[in-house]
A and B are shown apart, each in its own frame.
Chain A
Amino acid sequence: DAGVTQSPTHLIKTRGQQVTLRCSPKSGHDTVSWYQQALGQGPQFIFQYYEEEERQRGNFPDRFSGHQFPNYSSELNVNALLLGDSALYLCASSLQGAQEKLFFGSGTQLSVL
């Protein structure tokens, strides 16, 4: 049983560009959350998707957007990249009714130059 898979594992972009990160949840899970983890810090919640809708959002600008597909996979899009967007982006999946059982992927390391 595959766990949470994220792609790509590493990505290098330049300021002003746009990026799309992808996440496939653990089999059977219907809810996907995204977190940003800056170097040396704890992860920060970006948003959560369930039933193809954004259900909750953290304190991130509109440059950060997402999408959930009918197969529960999800994308995180970041527009107009800033140097400060350099971070590890973690995807986590769960069942809507069992949020305490959250499974994380290994993340996408984004570097903005």
Chain B
Amino acid sequence: AQTVTQSQPEMSVQEAETVTLSCTYDTSESDYYLFWYKQPPSRQMILVIRQEAYKQQNATENRFSVNFQKAAKSFSLKISDSQLGDAAMYFCAYREYGNKLVFGAGTILRVKS
């Protein structure tokens, strides 16, 4: 079964600085999707960014970008110019065959002012 590992239970960043959240996954598939979701205290899962495995170019959404290393099965999230509103739990997820999402355990991001 596919697994997703987030090795950083908690990260801290100073406002306006850059932080990188790590994620590794295990799969034997060649085509799949990877996602980063943000879960603030409101509990709603909000899509931050997604990456299609067949696309070599790393996805970017404003201040959020990923470093996708397919051979290493690594999918890290970089947040630039961190803002107080970025504080949340961040989940890495892999879309398995049949459209089921497999989530990592999450990383709590704290932003210091």
Chain A residues whose CB sits within 8 angstroms of the CB of B91 once the complex forms? 42-43
Determine whether the beta carbon of B106 is less than 8 Å from that of A41.
yes
User: Residue B62 at the A interface, CB < 8 A?
Assistant: no
Among residues 12 to 47 in chain A, which have CB atoms less than 8 Å away from a CB atom of chain B? 31, 33, 35, 40-45
B98-A42 in contact (CB<8A): no
Q: Is the CB of B43 within 8 A of A42?
A: no
Binds A, one of B44-52, B65-73, B75-83: B44-52
Interface residue SS majority, chain A = strand
Residues of A within 8 A of B101 (CB): 33, 35, 43, 45, 102
Q: Does B99 contact A (CB under 8 A)?
A: yes
- Dominant secondary structure at the B interface: strand
Please indicate the chain B residues that have their CB under 8 angstroms from the CB of A7 in the complex.
Answer: none
CA distance A39 to B52 in the complex (A): 30
Q: How many A-B residue pairs lie within 8 Å, measured between CB atoms?
A: 58
CA–CA, A109 to B44, complex, Å? 12
Min Cβ gap B87→A in Å is: 17
| Residues in chain B near residue A90, CB distance under 8 A | 43, 45
Contact with A along B74-100 (1 / 0, CB 8 A): 000000000000000001010100111
Taking CB atoms, residues of chain A closer than 8 Å to B105 are 40-42
- Are A106 and B103 also in contact (CB < 8 A) when A56-B98, A99-B95 are? no
Q: Is the CB of A107 within 8 A of B44?
A: yes
Complex: A79 Cα to B97 Cα, angstroms? 29
Expressed in whole angstroms, the Cα–Cα distance for A26 and B35 within the complex equals 20
Identify B44's interface contact among A33, A42, A45, A106, CB under 8 A: A106
What separation, in Å, do the CA atoms of A31 and B99 have in the docked complex?
11
User: Chain A: residues with CB nearer than 8 A to chain B?
Assistant: 31, 33, 35, 40-45, 48, 55-56, 58, 88, 90, 92, 94, 99-100, 102-107, 109
Residues of B with Cβ closer than 8 Å to A?
4, 33, 35, 37, 42-47, 50, 52, 91, 93, 95, 98-106
Ordered nearest first, which 8 A-B pairs have the shortest CB separation?
A42-B103, A104-B45, A99-B99, A106-B44, A45-B100, A56-B98, A107-B43, A100-B33
